[in-house]
Amino acid sequence: MPNYEYTCGECGKSFSQILTLKEHESGEVVCPACKSKNVEQKPAGFYAVTSKKS
């Protein structure tokens, strides 16, 4: 399952969540520290995404 990185907009904590695509699309991500739903997904792609290498 994909691992998503988030930063909380309330308390500023960074955390990662392993979500199914359905969970991700439903947007049910809350900050584990303050339970806020005001979380921002970090741009993924450094290590998790395989890009095409021609």
Point out which residues bind Zn ion (CB under 5 A). Answer: 8, 10-11, 31, 33-34, 36
Beta strands in the chain (DSSP E): 3-8, 14-18, 39-41
Of the pair 24, 36, the CB lying nearest Zn ion is at 36
For Zn ion, the closer CB: 14 or 26: 14
Secondary structure letter of residue 24 according to DSSP: H
Measured from the CB atom, the residue of 19 and 32 that comes closer to Zn ion is 32
Residue 50: burial class (beta carbons within 10 Å; 0-12, 13-18, 19+) = exposed
State the nearest-atom distance from the C-beta of 33 to Zn ion, in Å. Answer: 4
